[in-house]
Amino acid sequence: MLTLGVVVVGVEDMDRAVKFWCAALDYVPDETDAGPRWTTIRPASGTGAALGLELSETPLQEHPRMHLDLNAADGAEQEREIARLVSLGAVRVDWDLYPEDPDFVVLADTEGNKFCIIDLAHG
């Protein structure tokens, strides 16, 4: 049976992306799998999914077919995490596909890749 290995995100600036995602997720680069075209980052705690950052020359998609969902316990944590991620270089996205009462906020990383912060306590 297959299992999920690494989620991969395309980036234009490897150093900037590694710095952002390591700070955002409390991850560290895997020194055995790091370079100018590919870097794997892993949880500093040693537990959890790895994130692969791959140098990409393809344009960003306005509505990407795949993205990361990052979970917050409730609305207060969601807002704190959004503020923290923005301080690291993320930006809020003016998302045109929000439902009437969303449980998520769309951000873009320092490379323009969109991801969501989910409020798990949202009704």
Q: Mind listing the pLDDT tens digit for each residue in 39-94?
A: 999 999 999 999 999 999 999 999 999 999 999 999 999 999 999 999 999 999 99
Contact 34, 51 (CB under 8 A): no
- CATH assignment of 68-119, given 1.20.120, 3.30.720, 3.30.70, 3.40.50? 3.30.720
Contact 106, 115 (CB under 8 A): yes
- CATH assignment of 6-55, given 3.40.50.10140, 3.30.200.20, 3.30.720.120, 3.30.413.10? 3.30.720.120
Domain extents in the chain = 6-55, 68-119
Strands (E), 20-62: 27-34, 38-43, 50-55
Is the whole-model pTM more than 0.85?
yes
Q: Mind listing the pLDDT tens digit for each residue in 95-110?
A: 999 999 999 999 999 9
Q: What confidence category does residue 5 fall into, taking pLDDT thresholds of 50, 70 and 90?
A: confident
